[in-house]
Amino acid sequence: MRIYDQRLRTQMTNLVEYKEKKGLSGRELAHQLDISESYLSEILSGQRSLSKKLAKRISALTGIPVLNLLYPQGDLHA
């Protein structure tokens, strides 16, 4: 796995935990975020990064701070 992919996966840990805690399927969460299920899957697997716009939507839905979504823990200078 490339380092870039690994960093993206680290970023999505909070979102994965939210999804599991709420008992949501990928389809349900994607619907709530108004994105396709395949796009959500790519984000969660680290294949795609988040835009600031989508990070704000995710934050509004989940309460996860935008910075926690955009940057791996402790890496605010990326």
- Give CA–CA dist 29/12, Å, rounded: 13
pLDDT at 8: 59
Mean pLDDT of 30-57: 92
- The confidence band for 11, taking pLDDT boundaries of 50, 70 and 90, is low
Q: Do the Cβ atoms of 72 and 10 come closer than 8 Å?
A: yes
**Residue pLDDT, tens place only, 45-54:** 888 888 999 9
Structurally, what CATH architecture does the domain formed by 3-61 represent?
Orthogonal Bundle (1.10)
Q: Is the pLDDT of residue 27 over 70?
A: yes
Helices (H) and strands (E) counted in the chain, each on its own, are: 6, 0
pLDDT higher than 60, residue 78: no
Average pLDDT over residues 11-33: 90
46 three-class SS: coil
